[in-house]
Each structure stands twice: as C-alpha cells, then as structure tokens.
Amino acid sequence: MPVLFAYIFSFFFLAPVHHFPPAGDTDLNLHLNSVYKRYLDEESLKKNILRYTFDRKMDIKESDEDGTLKKQRKILQRVYQLNAKESRSQLISNSKWEDGKWEDVKPEENKGDHKERKMKFEFGDIFSPAGRKDYSFELIRQDAETVVIGVKPKKPDTDKFKGKFWFDAKNYCLVKAELQPSDLRMGLKSLNTYIDLKQINGVTYPVKIINKIYVSVFLIYTGKIDQVIYYDNYKFDVDDKSFDEVYSKLK
C-alpha cells in the first residue's frame, strides 16, 4: 500500500533587506524580522505575477526495508499558474517500472495506483510575530554569505515542521531548507524533506524537493519511498490568450 506525500510550499520572496545584523545573541530577532519582512514584500509582489508556466517532473521510487527497488514512477507535468493561488497541470508523460519492465500508465490507472497526500506548508506562519509564539529558534550559523536558522515547535505536532533554513545574508532570500515533521503520524517511521530554491528576476522559486519516507503499517505495508520533484523551464512571457485557451481545458 504505497503512500506518496506531496508538499506544497509557499516559499516565494522578494524585496531586499538592506541591513545586516551584527553578531550577538540579540541578533536572532533581527534576523527573524528581516526574514518575515521579505516574506510580506514577496506576498505583495506575487499578486502581480500572473499567467506563467513551468515543468514539474516527479521521480518516485518504492523499495523494501533492505533498499531493493520494487516500483518506480516517473511523471512529467506542465503547470499553468494563473496566479499565486490557482494553477492547473497538463500531463505530458506518465510511466511506471514494475516486475523489471517500464510501461506507460493509462489515465484510468492514475486514481488507484498511488495515493497523494497534500499538506500545505506556509513559511510565513512560522516567522510571523504571531507564529513565533509556537516555535523555538536558533541561530546556527552566520557569515558574510549565509544565515542558517533552526526551527522547532515548542509542542510536537504532526502538522508542524522542525528543521533548518538557509538564507542569503544580503537579502534574506531562502536558499534551501531541511525539514522533518515535529511529530509522526501513525505508521510513518520517518520523513525527511530537502528543498533547493533559486531566484528568477529577484523572486524565489523551487528547483528541487526531495522527500525520503519510511512507512511501516503492521501487517499491511512496510517500505521506503524516495520522491524527487524537479521544477524547471519557468516561462513568464506567455501570451495571455494562448495561456487562457490551454488553462480552460485543464482540470
């Protein structure tokens, strides 16, 4: 019974912060304020970023506890992003490996072949003044290039994450993150998420997300799932009419 976890991250930032806090224990709040300011500026800017596309490629491997590959799935989609909150995807290719051979997945096979659990992760919730009441923060490293901040909920929660965030020391754009649930759901032995991001025209977008999942449900399913999601081919100069024609036909 394979379980596929897909995360939707709200990680888009803009607007540089021009000060760089000096060293010292009191600097942590200055860093947190700078990160949150960038988040707010980015949220404001995203309202004007409309009708763009990108490719999303997923590679999902399912193996047993010893690491022997049992199944693999490769999916390529072109995503049409209407605005900051609305998008539709066009399936380009979908294939699976099982019993030693590759084959295309028919549309009617998509529903039952793998399950997808979507959990929304709002980055700004953690670094907001209100959100900070529920988290503990640690300034792990600070140098001329990078600020690394550790985050952990004060109370373990299956819907909250702990981990580390890497920020550019000059403008506080998010460079990468490593996350784990602060508490595990029943049957989930471990879940580690690794995120790489890049800036395009001053805006931060995901490049790659890796989920390494270990599931063990007594007498039902035990195994490991490695999911890698690549984001590529961002295009922001899509003609409005051409975009709308395709978008209206997708679900």
The mean pLDDT of 191-202, rounded to a whole number, is 90
Q: 81: exposed, middle or buried (C-beta count within 10 Å: 0-12, 13-18, 19+)? A: buried
- Note the pLDDT of residue 120: 53
Residue 146 has pLDDT above 60, yes or no: yes
- Note the pLDDT of residue 218: 77
The mean pLDDT of 140-163, rounded to a whole number, is 92
Report the chain's mean pLDDT, rounded to a whole number.
84
Q: How far apart are CA 77 and CA 164, in angstroms?
A: 29
φ, ψ dihedrals at 38, nearest 5°: -65, -40
Q: How far apart are CA 81 and CA 56, in angstroms?
A: 12
- 75 or 47: which leads in pLDDT: 75
Q: Is 64 helix (H, G, I), strand (E, B) or coil?
A: coil
Write out pLDDT tens, residues 57-99.
999 999 998 889 999 999 999 999 999 889 999 999 999 999 8
Q: How far apart are CA 63 and CA 132, in angstroms?
A: 38
- 183 or 235: which leads in pLDDT: 235
Write out pLDDT tens, residues 6-24.
433 433 333 333 333 334 4
Alpha-carbon distances, residue 156 vs 73, 134, 162 (angstroms)? 33, 10, 9
Q: How far apart are CA 246 and CA 78, in angstroms?
A: 11
213 CB contacts (<8 Å, ≥6 apart)?
Answer: 3, 5, 188, 190, 191, 224, 225, 226, 227
Write out pLDDT tens, residues 91-124.
999 999 998 899 999 876 655 444 444 555 677 8
